[in-house]
A and B are shown apart, each in its own frame.
Chain A
Amino acid sequence: MVKLISLRDETYKKLATFKKAGNMSFSEAIELLLNFYKTKKEKTSIKSLKGIIKESDLIKSRIKKITNG
């Protein structure tokens, strides 16, 4: 199924240039941009997770069973 969307002229030109450079369809170009944004957002948030768990946050009696072997 297809949907029609409206773009400003300037946005259309930028998107058309981007799609042509990557030999993509408009759908592929938009998906690529959305994925890039999503990935960038996730990666930024991953960095902030370093050291989020303190030793006291872990249930020590379960660590060996879960992590061994």
Chain B
Amino acid sequence: MAKKIVKVCVDLDILLDFLTGDEKASEKIEIYVKTKDTELCIAATTLAELYILTKSEEIVEKVKEGFIILPFDENAAKIAKEVYDALEENKWLIKNIQMSKVYVASTCIAHEAFLLTKNRQYYSNIPKLKVL
């Protein structure tokens, strides 16, 4: 039987650190570059943030070539409600978390991807989300 490919979705914090040359972020990403049967991905919403943050579209185009883009599709949209409901149980989380993180978490759950992030405090209480 064919081996299952493990998807690792890189959150904006680690992605930005890596793209700006940070060694720690690079080491983390290198682990998954070297790991067999893994695909490094980013959420489409993270891609949107990257477009917003950078002056050059050319840079984002290069990033698109390297990472698989996980779309925020109908399934992810539906899951976003479950994610938001779960976050609402924690007053601090729901007050401080940005919607972009809800979309990233929903995208990961929808595509069965692990999330690689520095912001574990925001994501750790989300059911079904696998955080690295």
Residues of chain A touching chain B, judged by Cβ–Cβ distance below 8 Å, are 22-24, 28-29, 31-32, 35, 39, 42-43, 45-59, 62-63, 66-69
Q: What is the bound-complex CA distance between A52 and B37, given in angstroms?
A: 26
Binding site secondary structure of chain B: helix
Ordered by A's residue number, 24 sampled pairs between the chains whose C-beta atoms are within 8 Å are A24-B1, A24-B2, A39-B38, A42-B40, A42-B65, A42-B66, A42-B67, A45-B65, A47-B30, A48-B66, A50-B18, A50-B19, A51-B19, A51-B21, A52-B62, A57-B55, A57-B59, A59-B53, A59-B55, A62-B52, A63-B53, A68-B98, A69-B96, A69-B122
Q: What is the bound-complex CA distance between A29 and B52, given in angstroms?
A: 41
Question: Which of B16, B21, B53, B97 meets A69, CB within 8 Å?
Answer: B97
List the B side residues contacting A24 at CB < 8 Å.
Answer: 1-2
**Nearest Cβ on chain A to B127's Cβ, whole angstroms:** 21
Question: Which of A48, A50, A57 meets B54, CB within 8 Å?
Answer: A57
**Nearest Cβ on chain A to B45's Cβ, whole angstroms:** 11
Question: Which of B2, B37, B49 meets A31, CB within 8 Å?
Answer: B2
Binding site secondary structure of chain A: helix
B16 x A39 contact (CB < 8 A): no
**A-facing mask of B47-61, CB < 8 A → 1, else 0?**
001001111100100
**A-facing mask of B64-87, CB < 8 A → 1, else 0?**
011110000000000000000000
**Nearest Cβ on chain B to A33's Cβ, whole angstroms:** 10
A49 x B66 contact (CB < 8 A): yes
List the A side residues contacting B29 at CB < 8 Å.
Answer: 46, 50
A28 x B65 contact (CB < 8 A): no
Check B9 for interface membership: any CB of A closer than 8 A: no
